[in-house]
Amino acid sequence: MSESHFKYHVFFCTNQRANGENCCANYNANALRDYTKQRCKSLGLNGSGKVRINNAGCLDRCECGPVMVVYPEAIWYSYVDEADLDEIIESHLQKGQPVKRLMIDQTP
């Protein structure tokens, strides 16, 4: 089995539902994904063997939104603001310690 190209691959749901239903885009998910991407770059965390931040479209967890998932552990998070994302970056992406208070149930 080969190693992953990235240590952590982070997917942000940025889905916008046209029918007015609850969705991650309603919680500023695009801007907060952009913030996380820039923050990881400024900390030197991005690139091969490090961290990759991506859009995911709908992750089908709208009731928990906004959501993101970190692989390879498949840890799901809900977040509110930049402070929550800073905590995930510092604890999980830098130190390998998931942030329990922001984790959501991994089964829908």
Alpha-carbon distance values, 94 to 9, 59, 107 (Å)? 13, 24, 26
Burial class (CB in 10 A: 0-12, 13-18, 19+), 34: middle
Q: Please tell me the least confidently modeled range out of 7-11, 31-35, 56-60, 86-90.
A: 56-60
Question: Domain holding 24: CATH number?
Answer: 3.40.30.10
**For residue 21, what pLDDT is reported?**
79
Residues in the chain: 108
What is the total count of domains within the chain? Answer: 1
- The 10s digit of each residue's pLDDT in 81-107 is 999 999 999 999 999 999 999 999 765
Place of tokens 């965390």: 45
Mean pLDDT, residues 38-56:
96
Where in the sequence is the domain holding 81, given as residue range(s)? 8-102
d(CA 5, CA 2): 9
59 located within any domain: yes
